[in-house]
Amino acid sequence: MTTTITDTVDASYLALRLPAGTEVTYQGTIAEAHGRWLVSPCNCRHCTASAFLGRPARRYELLTLDGKPSPYLHIRYTSVTPVVSDSERNYAACYLTPKIVAVHLRKQLRRAFPGVKFSVRTGRGKKMWELSVTWTGGPGRTAVSAVTAPLLATYGRSEERRPARISVTHAGRDYHGIPSVAAITLNRD
């Protein structure tokens, strides 16, 4: 017994997955068009007529990087590959080092308690995955621990207790991910 995929199921399966304006690399059969472009659903007569009949878009058109039209229409979805940005690449990296987490924590503490000077240090040797926070005067340990606690775990069911994802800019670079800190020690002088 053989089964066939109908045109509407096939079209639904092959429907465009990239939103309009996504930066891509084209590597299809048109050699002079190889390189970086933006994509948009195709506006040729065939694709426009299919859209009026209620079929999902199946082809792209290439736009220049500043969004202007190009002569390249009716491009197959298999001929383009999305360009991964630095922020997406960093976000996928997942775990952040204690040094980057310390930078984030300093910024959070300054924002929460303006005028109070905090020292946030990373551990050494066996305590490499620990942070130490020291300050004089100002808020109590409970107030400071309310700022530091989300870096250790979120509060949900036991299988969901993970640190919350954070984003921090350090030395001109954006970092996104989960803090990799085992403990945070609070010391009020």
pLDDT tens for residues 82-126? 887 766 665 555 788 899 999 999 999 999 999 999 999 998 877
What's the token pair of residue 123? Answer: 């551990």
User: Reduced to 3 states, what is the DSSP secondary structure of residue 14?
Assistant: coil
Distances (CA, A) of 187 to 104, 126, 134, 137, 142: 18, 20, 5, 11, 12
- Please tell me the distance from the alpha carbon of residue 39 to that of residue 64, in angstroms, as a whole number: 9
Q: Out of 5-9, 72-76, 152-156, pick the least confident.
A: 5-9
18-48 confidence digits (pLDDT tens): 888 989 999 999 999 999 999 999 989 988 8
pLDDT in tens, 120-152: 999 887 788 899 999 998 899 889 988 988 888
